[in-house]
Structure 1
């Protein structure tokens, strides 16, 4: 132990460790100022992972210091056995090991997309339809972290559910279109999706061109989607609904809302739920896509039968999922508000570090029964 202590106290070792730590800490900032390219991608990805590791390093260090305090201030151990220097060493070792273990689990967990099944009933007739199989996806965040491999896995999972309708509830992109690794290949993957009635989507708060650093927006952008994002959806056969509805197979109505905070080009203020549904045929089932799961009471009163959303990521990584459950009436999963069903997905992708702890990446297969 003493030899290790001498090694750690060497000036050369401290300089090397300090330089590596500083590079990791400022990697996201470096990537922010670099021009688009491989080095920008590299530094941003490193920075995202560093954010995740730092979060759990802080949590793990707090746990380790608590253990050290208990050891030093109880009758179960003496200071001769657990001296201050030794406990300090083991506190750091425990915190580093715990943080890295959690992050490694989080990375593996985030890469594995699961299928969550729901079954709901709507007390309305839907033309000749008795049942409808909807596949809900959201929060793909295609960009620096989410690329062809993850989307290919997603498409395979979607097709395995044999959907009648595929719904994408926002945050398809991760703000920067240039962050896509292979746009043409991604489009090919979306075109592989087999759906009887097609693919419909709405934009979320990240489907606009913005410069973001560690979750904060810089610069005064137009808060509009990059025109290439719109073209991407058209090429991928995805119909983007912007405060508009479509009647499908003369059986049910699908309504797509722009994002609550960032509605995008040409929409200064989106319609209220009652304005959305006032001209719709209420004898037919009304299904609404809304990125953020807000205004559930208002939607129910406006006649919406099924509300589909995302945005929350279910907190993505513990302990954030505790906060989301406090903030959102339906942070993830299924609840019923009056006659209306609200289903919120934790999402396919991630925001920031490619880590999920105590949450899951998912697609949702929703079996809808009609009267």
Structure 2
């Protein structure tokens, strides 16, 4: 399929998506009809009208967010968000339900009974998945690591770093989850905090309106909090407003820039891969002191080999969400050499977070909302 023209690939993907939506919708129509006794043309029209709004609710909410009343756009987005998860797992479960219906009918169960039994089983499984996924999304964990860099850290023997990526603050991920982030990071007592891209989700408006910057400013560290842009800051627009807002609260957004922590450790913030004008890692490190430790933030883990070749000691990334909902991690694992966790690439210690927030449905299966806490020890004798 990769050899086909891009337009043809997009068309085939669209046809597949529509086909799968019809497949899930047809099963839902049969089940609800048997459950309620509804039938006929009026039921069919009512069902498919509601189903199409639900199926495309997330997209419609994004496209029409400036035209719909706020409550309508929010409701449509929430419903559409959850449907993304329900749809994915429906497509995975329904073939098994179809297979299970055959022995039920062979054992004497009526067609209506087979639909009710298998439909109820799928519905209960979906509810369980959504409940578990919600718990995983809203209950963050801390992943702790310790690595050694064979360079002197000046007055610093070690640097304790709290890193969070992919907050996706917007109309789905809001104040409560942000407060969890601040509370958990402060509880770790880090020396510095890093926000590794996609702090925003839709656009900057909810971030400014809710004054989320003031909450991020409540993160307390001796050496401050730093951020970089992710792809969603570019998609949503309002980058200048976002950077100005963050700067106003004392949180620099590093745009191919370097700051030096405690006069001893270089912290490099790279523009996202979305930005075609971003500098290479070699350009960013050309004027830096080779003898000082180098820590880099780059939202997408697409250039880890380049980062290692440029002599970076520790790098932080996000973006992948580890697929967010299993088995999507099979895809991210094929796209990225490191899609989650820690791996050494020569002298480079690379970390990829599966993220603190969520994109689309506030559901995580096979992953948990997480914060990285990395202790970097400096030892010139190592």
Q: Taking structure 2 as the reference length, what is the TM-score of the superposition? A: 0.84
Alignment partner, residue 38 of structure 1: 71
Aligned equivalent of 1:273: 281
Other structure's SS at 1:254 match: strand
When structure 1 is superposed on structure 2, of 25-34 and 43-52 the one drifting more is 25-34
1:49 maps to which residue?
82
1:283 corresponds, among 276, 286, 291, to 291
Runs of 5+ in structure 1 lacking a partner?
A: 73-77, 211-223
Partner of 1:160: 187
CA drift of 1:13 comes to 5.3
* Structure-to-structure mapping, 1:204-223, within 5 angstroms: 204-210=230-236
Question: Counterpart of 1:62?
Answer: 95
| Cα distance in structure 2, aligned partners of 1:94 and 1:228 | 48
In the TM superposition, what is the alpha-carbon distance from 1:16 to its structure 2 partner?
4.9
Q: 1:4-43 to 2 correspondence within 5 Å?
A: 5=34, 7-11=36-40, 14=44, 16-31=46-61, 32-35=63-66, 37-43=70-76
Q: State the secondary structure of the residue aligned to 1:366.
A: strand
* Cα shift at 1:228: 2.0
CA RMSD of aligned residues (A): 2.1
Q: CA deviation at 1:341?
A: 0.3
Deviation at 1:122, TM superposition (A): 0.6
Residue 34 of structure 1 and its aligned partner are, at CA, apart by: 4.3
Q: Are the structure 2 counterparts of residues 89 and 329 from structure 1 closer, same or farther at C-alpha, using a change threshold of 3 Å?
A: same
| Residues 327/5 of structure 1: CA separation in 2 closer, same or farther (3 Å cut) | closer
Q: Which residue number in structure 1 is paired with residue 270 of structure 2?
A: 257
Counterparts of 1:140-159 in structure 2, within 5 Å, are 140-159=167-186
Deviation at 1:9, TM superposition (A): 4.5
Larger mean CA deviation between 347-356 and 80-89 belongs to: 80-89
Question: Which of 238, 241, 255 is residue 251 of structure 2 equivalent to?
Answer: 238
1:368 shift after superposition:
0.9
SS in 2 for 1:149: helix
Contact 2:196 2:230 in 1 (8 A): yes
Sort the Cα spacing of 1:256 and 1:30 in 2 relative to 1 into closer, same or farther, 3 A.
closer
Greater than 6 Å deviation, 4+ residue runs: none
Q: List gaps (5 residues or longer) in structure 2.
A: 1-32
Please give the TM-score of this superposition, normalised by the length of structure 1.
0.86
How far has the Cα of 1:27 moved from its partner?
2.8
**Secondary structure at the residue paired with 2:351?**
strand
Relative distance call for 1:172 and 1:105 in structure 2 (3 A) is: same
SS in 2 for 1:317: coil
Mapped to 1, the partners of 2:185 and 2:120 lie a distance apart of 43
